[in-house]
Amino acid sequence: FEANRLFLGIIGVGCGIALPAAAIVIARSYGPRHRATMLVITDAFFSLSGALCTTLAIIYFSMDLHWSAGFGTVAILALIGISIATISDYPEVEPEEKTNLLLELKNWPLSIYLCMAALFLYLIGQNFILIWIPSYAETIPGVSPEQAGQLVSNYWTGMFVGQLVVVALLTKFKTVTLTIFASVLMLFSVLPLWLIGEIGILTTLTFVWGLVTLGLLKLILSWATEMVNVPGPHLISALLMAATMGTAVSPALSSQLVEISNTQAPIQAGSIAFLIVLVLVVSARFILSKAEGARKERARTKQ
């Protein structure tokens, strides 16, 4: 058990380095016009992997395979990823762009920090619901573990489809517009999850929830990078660290919530987290609009 804890910790460190590194490569390789599109496309593959992994776990479980079968599958995919990373080319960060971290933190607008908070709460809300909705579904009479587990796969499938939709929408709408739109849809799509007690409807609702979320994580991240002239490695790493922190604290916090309440409570708490996410992104948009208006007024005054 101790060895497994150590290995899982090493895996976590590796993923914590690789994830922001990949986002930095994308942000450095594409300008603001195409950055959001590419980030959402890459996030679509995360969603696809989430759907596939959940489905494979159910298949392995039904086949009564050893628990190591899942880890072996992941190991094979990891080796493929390492091979691709080894032969790939990467953009360079120019020396003049390597600024002092503390100085960079002071220069970031308040809206970036609001986006960080939004990413943190978005991952808390998402994981609270995804971790516990199968257990909540199993409290419904006649629902099997396989049916309950399929709800998570439905979410990731819907997310994958939604991300393909948002790739098309980004050709016509600004990133900020889609960010706010997705935040609103996400909030209203999760509210019925803890009000419905019928597995057929829950199956549809989890797919719809993933669909209308529209890859919000990468939309927020991309929007935040547009708030500065050059999105440096510090900015992208900080944004993803905020999201990762939300993922890291979710299991412990949601478990404590279930311990003092019931399996429905994390789904309700996730809805509240999404409400705060909406407030944060709207506030960030309002602050940016005021700052832009002030800059235009100063420009007119100088003329």
Residue 206's pLDDT band (cuts 50, 70, 90): very high
Query: How confident is the model at residue 77, as a pLDDT?
Result: 84
In angstroms, the CA 86 to CA 124 distance is 33
Average pLDDT over residues 107-120: 93
In angstroms, the CA 27 to CA 232 distance is 9
For 46-80, write each residue's pLDDT tens digit.
777 777 777 787 788 788 887 778 788 888 888 98
For 150-170, write each residue's pLDDT tens digit.
898 899 889 888 888 888 888
Of 183 and 36, which is predicted with more confidence? 183
Residue 303's pLDDT band (cuts 50, 70, 90): low
Query: How confident is the model at residue 212, as a pLDDT?
Result: 93
Residue 92 is classified by DSSP as P
Could you give the angle at the alpha carbon of 176 between the alpha carbons of 173 and 178, nearest 5°? 55
For 135-148, write each residue's pLDDT tens digit.
999 888 888 888 88
Contacts of 20 (CB under 8 A, 6+ apart): 233, 236, 237, 240, 241
Kindly tell me if the per-residue pLDDT of 118 is higher than 80: yes
In angstroms, the CA 53 to CA 61 distance is 12
- Range scoring the smallest mean pLDDT among 2-6, 146-150, 256-260, 299-303: 299-303
In angstroms, the CA 110 to CA 191 distance is 29
Query: How confident is the model at residue 280, as a pLDDT?
Result: 97
In angstroms, the CA 228 to CA 103 distance is 14
In angstroms, the CA 243 to CA 104 distance is 20
